[in-house]
Amino acid sequence: MADAVRGASALPKISFEFFPPATPKASMALWTAVERLAPLGPDFVSVTYGAGGTTRDRTQSAMVAIRDRARLDVAGHLTCVGATRDQVMSVAQSYAQIGCRSIVALRGDQPGGGAFEPHPEGFSGSVDLIEALAEMNRFKIWVGAYPEPHPEAATPNADVEHLKRKIDAGAHGAITQFFFENETFLRFRDAAVAAGIDAPIVPGILPVENFKRMCSFADRCGTTVPKWMHKAFGNAETEADHDLLSVAICSEQCDELISEGVDRLHLYTMNKPDLPYQVCSALGVETVPMRVAASAG
């Protein structure tokens, strides 16, 4: 096993991302995912937030349920696109009131696509948002980072420069967009260090649950899907072959990152726990019993 070579002390801290459910069936799927992954002892889990607050109530409900029932540290996502300053800060206050200690602060994408347009009464962007959150002095603030050029990046070094501004504004650390070539992340990490960034930069890792759907998403966010992945998944004849390949690729990616000194990994679960669980198991992450809170009544 991987940890037999590295030693258990070298295992990274793990975190997971979930998204809020839209239907009762999706709620069951989310809780199934949480039950499956919580015994892996994540450092924290995050719950995403729709543009303009479109999932505000569902995000907060999911956060409370995960925290109270699974006893996990939950970070709430928060975006500022399409909302006033008061609306955004009201959400932040509500997070604080339910005991949330961490926020993933993001600008957010413009609904319908196109360039970001600040709300007339809103934040000018992520840096402005981070400064306001930092003034509250209530949260550990995580931000996004882009190892490959963001679709709106004007220069090759724009993403590093923007990350530096976010860290200087009060962010604790960054979680990256997913990527598949580790050299991409390592070059970005080196460039960040050279720019004076000493905050943690956590690789965002995506076990591929559906290759075709992933490629479409990657195209929208500027993530390169290597040719060898197209060939490998093209040769996967069954769903079982696909999943086995996905776990093997993702586990190898994570193991290489750990060997390069990465001590944290953030896995995007898509609310489907089996592949993230198998990847963590392959890395040697051990499970502990999950203490589920008793229901009231």
Distance between CA 275 and CA 166 in Å, rounded? 32
Which pLDDT value is given to residue 295?
Answer: 47
pLDDT of 3 reads 45
Tokens of 224: 């390169």
Ranges of the chain with pLDDT below 50: 1-9, 294-297
Q: Would you state the pLDDT for residue 53?
A: 57
* 35 carries an active-site annotation: no
What confidence score (pLDDT) does residue 220 get?
Answer: 87
How high is the pLDDT of residue 272?
A: 96
Q: What is the pLDDT of residue 9?
A: 45
Question: For every residue of the chain, which 3-state class applies, written as one string?
Answer: CHHHHHCHHHCCEEEEEECCCCCHHHHHHHHHHHHHHHHHCCCEEEECCCHHHCCHHHHHHHHHHHHHHHCCCEEEEEECCCCCHHHHHHHHHHHHHCCCCEEEEECCCCCCCCCCCCCCCCCCCHHHHHHHHHHHCCCEEEEEECCCCCCCCCCCCHHHHHHHHHHHHCCCEEEEEECCCHHHHHHHHHHHHHCCCCCCEEEEECCCCCHHHHHHHHHHHCCCCCHHHHHHHHCCCCHHHHHHHHHHHHHHHHHHHHHCCCCEEEEECCCCCHHHHHHHHHHCCCCCCCCCCCCCC
pLDDT of residue 116: 76
Q: Residues 17, 131, 135, 181: which is the catalytic one? A: 17
Give the model's pLDDT for residue 292: 57
Task: Provide the pLDDT for residue 296.
Answer: 41
pLDDT of residue 117: 79
pLDDT at residue 82, as a whole number: 85
- Predicted confidence (pLDDT) per residue in 203-222, tens digit: 999 999 999 999 999 998 88
